[in-house]
Amino acid sequence: MTATATRKRNKYTYIWVVQGYYGPGHGWEDLTATEDRKEARTDLKAYRENVPGIAHRMIHRRELNA
């Protein structure tokens, strides 16, 4: 790539989402979202400790930039 060439801008933002499962009627619902994986792992651990009896998971998602 030359010095005068411009880089193509990524049209997606990649985020980590912590979700909780609230039963068959509601399914998986987003609880928090962040671009930092380490922060998402901390949030997931906190949800698992403070909200027992509900399944939690962390997923990776991409969102279209505006």
Is residue 1 over pLDDT 90?
no
Task: Please spell the DSSP secondary structure of 30-50, one letter per residue.
Answer: EEEEES-HHHHHHHHHHHHHH
32-47 mean pLDDT: 97
The tokens for 65 are 């930039």
> Using 50, 70 and 90 to split pLDDT, how confident is the model at 7?
confident
Q: How far apart are CA 8 and CA 5, in angstroms?
A: 10
> Using 50, 70 and 90 to split pLDDT, how confident is the model at 9?
confident
Q: How far apart are CA 35 and CA 14, in angstroms?
A: 6
pLDDT tens-digit profile of 15-32?
999 999 999 999 999 999
Is residue 8 over pLDDT 90?
no
